[in-house]
Amino acid sequence: MINLEPPKKAGALINQAYQAASQVLRPISRKYDRAEHAYPSELDMFAAVLDGLNSSGEGGAGAAGVRRDEKEKEKGNRNGGNLNTVLGTIEMCWGDVALLLSMPRQGLGNAAIASVANEEQLARFGKIWAAMAITEPDCGSDSAAITTTAVEDGDAYVLNGEKIFVTSGQRADAVVVWATLDKSKGRAAIKSFVVEKGTPGFEVVRLEHKLGIRASDTAVLRFDNCRVPKENLLGSPEVDTKKGFAGVMQTFDNTRPLVAAMALGVARAALEETTRILAEAGVTVDYDKPANTQHAAAAAFLELESDYEAAYLLTLESAWMADNRKPNSLQASMAKAKAGRSVVDITLKCVELAGAFGYSEESLLEKWARDSKILDIFEGTQQIQQLIVARRVLGKTSAQLK
């Protein structure tokens, strides 16, 4: 198997992210898992550090974007910005994925702004903490079925609708809301709007209690005749039926590799903990012997590691393509599908290999098993990713292959 080493220039960032994860995130992981909805105030000090990494072009933990307009293309490659962000995210989620999702100004909405916003909008919204609101009560992974409306009214758009499962929906300074300008025009009419906290008609209805990522607040939002300035519509207001959904979906080309990276961080944490537990039990994994000649637990562990490596390579490929201005929708979905499925399989099997110890709160293995499932669901479920991959490979449109 090919094993790609991280580029040397990313070494300092990886080390910084690992130190933050090991010294701050991991020690408070269980504390905020138990104290659901309590804000992790220990994270405030890291916001400025991550802002600095992003502004320097070194990448941070989630706010980088994929920009493919002609002006950006003239600048050439981003010097590994997306790859660095993925590598940093893996390290931080090795510490705790929910705490990373709680990090100020590193929300998925920030990635949307970085990907789609024009220069003026980047200047206005580049430093805020933005959540992303897509899912609705009757619309999950099929984002094209969005029913939240945005009606033009003078110098504003009036938003009406409800969004569910919005990560950081209560804590963030603003929310990037997906809404349709005209339902009759289908996918092409779906646009994203920055709605700032305190805007009349914007209400946080409730916070959800969840299986995992409990340190991260997950909110239900309602928009009732919420007036949003026209200049808060990200990108172009033009409804181009030829371009279709591509403008808005460009966001996912960036965020899906990030979610894959989150899954890799959790999976690696579980594998490392399981290695320690197996060693204490006298089970050693020998990489020079065939799996079928080793202890059953060692053979199972080798299979888990191979899944991890495959997901890792796919994720790095999708980030590298984004850095090199190559269309990466297929690779982003492949990485998300593989990493999302693998992290669930890996964490559950690690709990099993650790026995009663893995199922108790004496270890973080049971927490990682709970955290992992959402990484297979949000930013597009496993089934949606497989459908996207099938369309790309077979050259079918969404209308031809449903």
Element of type H or E holding 35: none
E strand intervals along 100-237: 130-133, 149-153, 156-167, 174-180, 190-196, 202-207, 218-229
219 by DSSP, 3-state: which?
A: strand
Q: Is 379 a catalytic residue?
A: yes
Judged by DSSP in three states, 375 sits in helix
DSSP secondary structure string, 240-308?
-TTTTTHHHHHHHHHHHHHHHHHHHHHHHHHHHHHHHHHHHTT----TTS-GGGS-HHHHHHHHHHHHH
**The one catalytic residue among 136, 273, 317, 379:** 379
3-state secondary structure of 150: strand
**Cα separation, 103 vs 168, whole angstroms:** 9
Q: Which among 376, 342, 51, 65 is positioned nearest to 213, based on CA atoms? A: 376
Tokens 């609708």 correspond to what residue? 161
Residue with tokens 């969404």: 398
Q: Cα–Cα distance between 283 and 255 in angstroms, integer?
A: 38
Give me the sign of the Cα torsion angle 292, 297, 300, 302: negative
Task: Give the C-alpha distances (Å, rounded to integers) separating 311 from 107, 122, 260, 308, 320.
Answer: 23, 32, 8, 5, 14
Q: What are phi and psi of 223, to 5 degrees?
A: -120, 115
Q: How far apart are CA 261 and CA 87, in angstroms?
A: 7
The answer to whether 314 touches 331, Cβ cutoff 8 Å, is: yes
Cα separation, 252 vs 295, in Å, equals 42
Q: What is the DSSP letter of 169?
A: T
CA distances (Å), origin 103, targets 20, 107, 280: 12, 7, 35
Q: Which residues are tagged catalytic?
A: 379
